[in-house]
Amino acid sequence: MMKLARWIAGTVVLLGLIALIIVLPFRSMFFQQNQEHIGFAGRVVYILILSSLMVLYRVLKGPTAADRIVAIDIFGILIVGLCAVLSIASGRSWYIDIGIAWGLQSFIGTLALSKYLEGRSFDD
C-alpha cells in the first residue's frame, strides 16, 4: 500500500515537471540562427537536464562503487545527445565534435574504472 502511494506520488511529480517544462514559455539561451527550432530545442535541453539530475541522484546516493561508475557512464552518453541538440539549435556543427570526443573519453574512463574495480578484490 505504501509502495503504491509512493509510486503514484513519484509519477505525479515527474509528469508535472515534464508538463511544466513543455508548457512554460522559457526564454531559451541557445539560439541565434534557426529561429523555428528555438522553443523545441530549449525544451529538449531542459528535459535532458531533468534526466541528468536523476542520474546525479544515483551518483550521490549509490550504495556501491559500481553504481556510481554506471551512473557516470550513462551521464556521458546523455551529454552526447545534449551536444547533438545544441548543434541543431545553434546551427554550428562543431558542437557535435564535442559530443564525439566526450563519448570517447567517457568510454575509456569507464573501462579504466571497471578495471580498477575488478582488481580491488584480487591482488594482481
What is the torsion angle, in degrees rounded to the nearest 10, for the CA atoms of residue 11, residue 48, residue 59 and residue 114? 120
Grid cell in block for residue 116: 580498477
Question: Quick check: 21 binds another protein (CB under 8 A)?
Answer: no
What does the alpha-carbon distance between residue 28 and residue 44 come to, in Å, rounded to a whole number?
A: 11
**Angle CA 28–22–7, to nearest 5:** 130
Residues 90-119 that bind another protein (CB under 8 A): 93, 96-97, 99-100, 103-104, 107, 110-111, 113-118
Binding mask 41-70 toward another protein (x if CB under 8 A, else -) reads ---x--xx-xxx-xx-xx-----xxxx-xx
**How many Cβ atoms from other residues are within 10 Å of residue 90's Cβ?**
18
**Nearest CB to another protein, comparing residues 2 and 29:** 2
Q: Which residues contact 112 (CB under 8 A, 6 or more apart)?
A: none
Out of 1, 3, 24, 123, which residue is the one contacting another protein (CB under 8 A)? Answer: 3
Q: Which residues contact 107 (CB under 8 A, 6 or more apart)?
A: 73, 76
**Nearest CB to another protein, comparing residues 32 and 51:** 51
Positions touching another protein (CB under 8 A) are: 3-4, 7, 11, 14, 18, 36-37, 40, 44, 47-48, 50-52, 54-55, 57-58, 64-67, 69-71, 73-74, 77-78, 80-81, 84-85, 87-88, 93, 96-97, 99-100, 103-104, 107, 110-111, 113-118, 120-122
